[in-house]
Structure formats: C-alpha cells, structure tokens
Structure 1
Amino acid sequence: MNLRDEVGLGAIYIGTLIGAGFASGQEIISFFTVYGKYGFLGILTATFFFFVLGYIILKQAIRQKSQCARDILLPLAGEKLTLLFDLMTDIFCLAGYYIMLSGCGAVLNESLSLNYTYAVIIFSIVIVWCLNKEMSGLAELNKILVAIILIITAAIGFFCFKDWQGISYNIDMPFAKRGWLVSSVTYVSYNITLALVVLSSLGSYTDKESAALGAAAIGAFGIMSMGTLMWFITWANFQLLSGVQIPLLWVARQHGNFLYLSSITALLAAMFTTALGLGFSFAKSISKRLGIRYKSALNFLFIGIPLTKYSFAGLIKQIYPFFGKAGIFFTILLVIRRFLSPKNRII
C-alpha cells in the first residue's frame, strides 16, 4: 500500500503547526499544562478538531486543485468575504514568515551568541533556496525535520520521565476543570488559519482525494504525539518553569549540553518548517494574483526582512491574536457550510 502522498501531506501539516510557540513549550503551557491532568484531555480534543478540519481543508484543496486559500474560500464565503480574507491570509503568511525568521535569529543569538541580523539573512536565503524545489522539496524537507523534532522531543521526554518521582501536580488554577475545553477549542481556532493558508496551496500535490483522510490522520497523530510529550515535559517541571521564556531549552539544559544543543536544533527545525509552509503559500498566492512565475514570487519574501528587527515576542503578541479571531470565524464558517448547506458539502 503506497502512502507516499499521505505521509508527505501529513508531514507538511505537522511541520506547519509546530512552530516556535509549540516547540518551545510556551503554547502548550498556556493552553494545556496550566490545567494539569485536564490539559491532556485538551490535547485529545484539539487532536480531534485538527483531524476533522484538516481533512475538510485537504479534501477541498485536492478536489479543486487549489493553489491558495482563495480557491477554497470562494465557494464557502462568497466573493466579498473571500477578497477580504484573501488579503488577510497573504498578510498573515508574510507576517508569520518573518516571525519565524525572527525566532530563528533570536534563538541563535541567545543560545550561541551568533549575530542576530546575519542569522536572519542566512536563514532567509536557505529557506528561499529550499522553496525553489516547490512541493516535492517541501514535503521531503518536512518529513526529515519533523522526524528530527519528534526524536529530540521524545528523548527529552524520556529523561524527564526517568527523573520523575511520580508526583501528580495539582495546579491551582480557578475553574481549571471547566476551562480546559474552551482553551483547547481556542488553541485550534488560533492555529486553523495557519493550516488553511498552507494546506490550501497543496491542491496539486496529488490527484487522490482519498489521500486527504490519511494525511489528516497522520498530521493529527503527529500533533497529538508532540503535544503529549511537550505537555508531560512542562507538567513534570511546572513548578520550576515560572518566568522561563523557552521551557524546552531550560528543561533540556538540566540534562546536559548534548541534549541542550539538540533541543536548539529541534526548535530551529520547528520554526524552519513553519517558515517553509508560510513562504510557499505566500509565493503561490502572489504568483497567481500577479500572474508571475512562482520562483519570481519567492523574491517577495526578502522585502520585509527589516521587520525582523522587532522582538520575536513582540511580533507574536501583535499579530497572532488578530488572526486567531479570524480563525474562529473561519472554523464557524466551515462547520455551518458543511452541516447546514447540504448542496455545498465538501465531503
């Protein structure tokens, strides 16, 4: 049984979602770990939604041979809303791309004392070079990088489990039992915009509509595995992580320099995979919008490099909440269109 297409699409799906916030542990702490054991239920809930929504988006993308978010949104939202969301997603792709570049520069500067500006420029050149290989190269790179991230995270999780005394931390947070579900749904809605803009540009990756199901399952399982590992790592060390900016690096450092350097590799790989997906989606959208070659559109990725001079945390704080709200709107739109408009169903 040949699952090449499913694995390729699934790897891109995972690589897109495990950006800096996820791989560093910050997102997992904010949305899941703070709820203690209930955080694990939140991860399972998020996994379910990522599977369902990922399947819907991929199914529609393959069916329509879509190259950008507009191709999927037009039959769902109409011309006016699609135009608005189309412009928003282009901005989101570019902004998210620069956030990932900024993150790579910040990690290398703080951990290895490398020059921030040089690191950003080098990463930008490498990413554009990789994107010249288009979809096949994108899939192969994601397969490799996602595997590296998973192995390193599993190793850190293993050492945490080895040192764990079996203590069950009852994290004191008001309404934790009720809040984990809302937090899980919010997390999905904040990330579904990211999934939409990347997955919708992969419509010509395969002719098999059936690949959408396997790819969504692989993607959701990968996110669940990574999320569970990160939840345990941050939960087992929760009382020690107060005020820590990058939890994964802090925990890894407690287990030696080799694991610490490996965790830096994992974090860079996570940001790299997300930057690849966002850069690819932006170039695809711009090439279609302006009627230019894809490889020419890649040059637009260099334009906003000066934006990376702003702090990594500052960029996330300003940009992500806005697109999180857009993700909530899109999720509601998908559900309404799927279940209340039979003639327009996309499954």
Structure 2
Amino acid sequence: MGKRNVFKIASIYIGTLIGAGFASGQETMRFFTRYGIKGIYGVLVTAILFGMIGSIILVKVYNYKIISYHDWILPFFGPYLGKVVEFFLAFLLLSFYCVMLAGSGALFEQQFGYGKEIGMIFMSVITFITFIFSMRGLAIVNSIVVPLLIVGIIAIGVFVIPQNLPFDCNVDGNFYTIGDNWMTSCILYVSYNSICAVMVLSSLYPLLNNKRDAVLGGGLGGALLGVMLLFLFLSTLIVYRAIQDVEIPMIAIASTLGENMGNIYGILLWFAMLTTAIANGFVFIQSMEKRLKIKHLQACILFFIVTIPLAQFGFKRLVHVLYPMFGYIGVLFIILLVLKKGKK
C-alpha cells in the first residue's frame, strides 16, 4: 500500500505541473532551450528543486496535519493580509482551470477540427465527474493518465533525437527573454509552477501514511518531471530552427514522425491539460465548500456552471501577462512555506 500511495502522490504532483505549457514544449523552449546546450543545467537543477520542494512541503503537511492551503495562510500572513493572499491564490486556481478549458477548446478546434465549445464542455464534464469522487477521483485519473504522458513524451524523444544527430547546439536568441541566464529562468520556472503545486500538495494529507511516503512521493515526482523535461529539452533543441515560431512545438515534432503521431500527441496534450485542470479545480472546490459552507456536490455543480462562461473571457491572455509576476511572488511564497510551520 505504501508504494501505491507514493506513486499516487507523485502522479498528482506531476499532473498538477504538466499542463498545456509543459507538455506542448513551449515552456521548455522559453525557459531552457533558448540557452542552447547550457539549458540542460537548468533542467537538472529544476528536477532537484521540484523534488526538494515537493518532499519538504509534503513532510510539513504530514507533520502538522495540514488539510488545505488555508492552513498555511493565516499563520504566515495574519488575518488581514491572509485574506488578500487567499483571494489571490483562489483567483490563480480559477484562472489556471479556465485556461485549461480554453486550451481544450483550442486544441479540439485546431488539431481535431471540432468546435472549441465542444472541447471546453467535454473537459468540463470529465472534470465534473472526477470532482464528484473527490480525492479518490483525483488519484485515479492521475494514476492512469500520468504514466501515459511520461511514456509518450519519452517515446517522442527516443524516436526524434537519433534521427537528427549530429545537431547544432547554438540558438539564435529569438526566444522571449524570461531571465538573464539559465539559473534565473530555472528559479522563476520552479517558483511560479510551485505556487499551484503547493496548494494541491497541501490537500494530500489523506494519502500520507507516514513521513516516508511524503519524502518519496515528492522526490519521485520531481525526478520524473526532470526526466520528461530532459526529453522535451533535447527534442526542442535538436530541431529548434524548424519549430522556434510554432505555437505547439511538440505536436510539430511528433508530426515529423507521421500525421497520426501528431494526433496522438494532441491527445496526450489534452490529457496534460486535464490533469492540471483537475488539480486546480479540486483545490478551488475545497475552498468553496469551506467558505460558502455548502456540500461537496453543490460546490461541484456551482463550479461546473460558472467556469464554462468564464473560460470565454480571455483568461489565457490574462494569465500569460501575469506569469512573470507569479514567478517573483512564487519565490517569496515558497521560501515562507519551506521556512515556516503550519498549524499544529
């Protein structure tokens, strides 16, 4: 049971972070590939940081019996500033969920030729069914989908990399500048991703039988994220001249192996959006239940009704503008969570 729980924890951790930006290869290109072969240092440091942060947070969740991110907020920020921070974090969760709905619509329209409304509603229905089963649904979906994502990303790299050897490791600097060097990009990447990860990990106390589960779950999640990130990095670096202006680099790369492979990777990308949507939506619904004092099913139905219209209002563009800010705020947020204690 212990090993199974460790894998569930690692799967939820990975599923939270492997959203549209990660699986599409766009984040990898912007934060790592733009530095050429030196970007591999950022990949390695990122894997270590994800593993350390995941383990440290989960150990604190176990030690202090934390059941939601609300248990961190008031002890750190006080009753007044804490409410502001809670509102910001709730907005972040809602934004990311709606971005995934919008991304599902765009993917259905651009890759599969269906209307974007169908894509949004389909993802919304799947997430609603998952939310009804609460933590069990979250664990089951991630335990099934995350292994498919890991195998898919590695498989693309295994096929693409040997076909393009030897390759030019120099990049021409056309990528959007995130930081001054690979280390700055690495820290910003980890910090803004970790904000939502911390909120999701804070809800995993029911899966933690002991401190060992916490350490191994966080460490395994970080290690597997690092492996996927490495294959994404090598795949985008090796053919970067052909994909540097492409919106979804990994679909373009997969399509070089055949049209069907492009469609298959499109499905994997949708799965990545699904796991991130489920993670963010699950934590937001928990918050709704607590604040509005309503039953779980009522919160799920209200969330389902409200989020589909919200996904139409350009959340994707809004969050894109806020990402750099999320990164800098995330640095402070993660330091506080690592150094301070939750409630006893």
Aligned to 2:142: 142
Report the Cα distance in structure 2 between the residues aligned to 1:191 and 1:17, rounded to whole angstroms: 6
Report the Cα distance in structure 1 between the residues aligned to 2:294 and 2:334, rounded to whole angstroms: 31
The Cα offsets for residues 153-182 of structure 1, whole Å up to 9 and x where unpaired, read as 112111112312222412244999970111
Report the Cα distance in structure 1 between the residues aligned to 2:205 and 2:61, rounded to whole angstroms: 4
Report the Cα distance in structure 1 between the residues aligned to 2:21 and 2:62, rounded to whole angstroms: 29
Aligned to 1:281: 283
Aligned to 2:153: 153
> Match of 1:292, SS?
coil
- The answer to whether residue 309 in structure 2 is matched with residue 306 in structure 1 is yes
The number of aligned residues is 340
> Match of 1:161, SS?
helix
- The answer to whether residue 277 in structure 2 is matched with residue 251 in structure 1 is no
Contact 1:127 1:276 in 2 (8 A): yes
Change beyond 3 A, Cα 1:168–1:18: same
Aligned-residue sequence identity (percent) comes to 33
CA drift at 1:230: 0.3
Report the Cα distance in structure 1 between the residues aligned to 2:228 and 2:123, rounded to whole angstroms: 24
Task: After TM superposition, list the pairs within 5 Å mapping 1:180-191 onto structure 2.
Answer: 180-191=182-193
Report the Cα distance in structure 1 between the residues aligned to 2:326 and 2:342, rounded to whole angstroms: 25
Aligned to 2:14: 14
- The answer to whether residue 320 in structure 2 is matched with residue 317 in structure 1 is yes
Contact 1:65 1:204 in 2 (8 A): no
Report the Cα distance in structure 2 between the residues aligned to 1:345 and 1:138, rounded to whole angstroms: 24
* Structure 1 gap ranges (5+): 339-343
CA drift at 1:57: 1.6
Report the Cα distance in structure 2 between the residues aligned to 1:83 and 1:316, rounded to whole angstroms: 21
CA drift at 1:21: 0.4
Change beyond 3 A, Cα 1:169–1:92: same
Change beyond 3 A, Cα 1:176–1:96: closer
CA drift at 1:319: 4.0
Task: After TM superposition, list the pairs within 5 Å mapping 1:33-48 onto structure 2.
Answer: 33-48=33-48
* Structure 2 gap ranges (5+): none
Contact 2:72 2:337 in 1 (8 A): no
Change beyond 3 A, Cα 1:316–1:249: farther
Contact 1:5 1:211 in 2 (8 A): yes
Aligned to 1:218: 220
Report the Cα distance in structure 1 between the residues aligned to 2:105 and 2:173, rounded to whole angstroms: 34
Report the Cα distance in structure 2 between the residues aligned to 1:331 and 1:282, rounded to whole angstroms: 19
Report the Cα distance in structure 2 between the residues aligned to 1:282 and 1:160, rounded to whole angstroms: 39
Aligned to 1:239: 241
- The answer to whether residue 337 in structure 2 is matched with residue 334 in structure 1 is yes
Give the structure-2-normalised TM-score: 0.92
> Match of 1:304, SS?
helix
Contact 1:103 1:312 in 2 (8 A): no
Q: 1:292 is aligned with what amino acid?
A: I
Report the Cα distance in structure 2 between the residues aligned to 1:183 and 1:105, rounded to whole angstroms: 29
CA drift at 1:345: 8.9
CA drift at 1:206: 2.8
Q: Which is further off, 204-213 or 39-48?
A: 204-213
Report the Cα distance in structure 1 between the residues aligned to 2:245 and 2:172, rounded to whole angstroms: 17
The Cα offsets for residues 310-340 of structure 1, whole Å up to 9 and x where unpaired, read as 45752432343343333122023235x35xx
Give the structure-1-normalised TM-score: 0.91
Report the Cα distance in structure 1 between the residues aligned to 2:2 and 2:199, rounded to whole angstroms: 27
Q: 1:18 is aligned with what amino acid?
A: I
Task: After TM superposition, list the pairs within 5 Å mapping 1:261-272 onto structure 2.
Answer: 261-272=263-274
Contact 1:35 1:177 in 2 (8 A): no
Report the Cα distance in structure 2 between the residues aligned to 1:307 and 1:160, rounded to whole angstroms: 38
Q: Which is further off, 163-172 or 150-159?
A: 163-172
CA drift at 1:211: 1.1
Report the Cα distance in structure 2 between the residues aligned to 1:147 and 1:115, rounded to whole angstroms: 29
The Cα offsets for residues 197-254 of structure 1, whole Å up to 9 and x where unpaired, read as 2111222233323211011111101110110010011001111112100001111111
CA drift at 1:76: 3.2
Q: 1:117 is aligned with what amino acid?
A: E
Report the Cα distance in structure 2 between the residues aligned to 1:126 and 1:48, rounded to whole angstroms: 33
Task: After TM superposition, list the pairs within 5 Å mapping 1:47-126 onto structure 2.
Answer: 47-126=47-126
